[in-house]
Structure 1
Amino acid sequence: MAVNEGLSIGALAKRTGLAVSAIRYYEAQGLIAPWRNAGGQRRFDRADLRRLSFVMIAQQFGFTLPQIKAELDRLPGGRTPTKADWTRISEGFRAALDVRIATLNKLRDNLDGCIGCGCLSLEACALYNPIDQAGEKGPGPRYLMGDEPAA
């Protein structure tokens, strides 16, 4: 296939493993922008393979489509993104991933103890929560979210 012919939506689906409907959805969300050939058929650039792969990976890490779109919007238009372009946008996710990794490590290390949910259901809680002190810090598993129990 010549480079200027682009990829059909079917070829893109086959290559990425995504359903055609998913590709259309990502198009509607502005994550990819196909063009039309002389016959009016939707065509995609080869760079869209990488964009869709990035979308799939970023979603597995828990990023939302608006977050992903914001990063993809930083890629250049009119040319295939380079390794430097991808490195630059990956830095946008690095801090968020570091926070998630720290949270997962804390969850793993404290899974058998209290996570500060305020349930008061454990008689021998590793992080005793008298009078639901964790609940005063806000909703959710406060200690897992980074709050420290009262000394």
Structure 2
Amino acid sequence: MQVSSTDHLTIGEVTRRTGVPASALHFYERKGLIFTTRNGGNQRIYERHMLRRISLIIVAKRLGIPLADLAAAFATLPGDHAPTQEDWQRVSRTWKRQLQERRQILENLEHELTGCIGCGCLSMKACALLNPYDTLQEDGPGPVRLQDPPRRNPSRRATRR
């Protein structure tokens, strides 16, 4: 059976197809991540192309990508009709860059996990060597060596890396 891309799905069908509870679909709709129309009985109706958005939301959640980042990517896509392949390619290029940045942050965390992350605790020997006297506090609060992106105090010339 050939399925048209303009077919509409009920909320029950979308829940069954995606595994996402109706309450979550309502939440995603309120956040502007997905869109619905109403039928004559005032029931939510989803265009079939919303399945792709919902699937990407599921994947993004699994990867720890904030919904705000997803919303920013989806904001560039049409909501009233299926995005074109060019639309998806543009969004995926943006996401690829973001994922590469995340990967770098995770690699930095992995590398620095047993060393000094610049939090100011000075509880490890590496901290005493890499952050003597808690000098990294001048770069800002928290784990300054792992910030996204690293914050630097412009009045200091960083020579520690």
Q: TM-score range by the shorter chain?
A: 0.7 to 0.9
- Out of 71, 76, 79, the position equivalent to 2:78 is 76
Partner of 1:7: 9
> Which letter does structure 1 place at the counterpart of 2:85?
K
Q: Secondary structure at the match of 1:7?
A: strand
Task: Answer whether contact 1:12 1:44 (CA < 8 A) is retained.
Answer: yes
* Structure 2 residues not aligned, in runs of 5+: 153-157
* Structure 1 residues not aligned, in runs of 5+: none
Task: Answer whether contact 2:109 2:146 (CA < 8 A) is retained.
Answer: yes
Whether 2:96 is the aligned partner of 1:103: answer: no
TM-score normalised by L of structure 2: 0.80
Distance in 2, matches of 1:37 and 1:77, equals 17
Distance in 2, matches of 1:54 and 1:108, equals 27
Partner of 2:114: 112
Identity value in percent = 42
Change in 2 beyond 3 A, CA 1:123/1:65: closer
- Indicate the RMSD between aligned Cα atoms, in angstroms: 2.4
Aligned length: 151
Task: Answer whether contact 1:129 1:149 (CA < 8 A) is retained.
Answer: no
The alpha carbon displacement at 1:118 in A equals 1.0
Q: Secondary structure at the match of 1:43?
A: strand
Q: Secondary structure at the match of 2:9?
A: coil
TM-score normalised by L of structure 1: 0.85
Partner of 1:53: 55
Task: Answer whether contact 2:130 2:160 (CA < 8 A) is retained.
Answer: no
> Which letter does structure 2 place at the counterpart of 1:29?
K
Partner of 2:24: 22
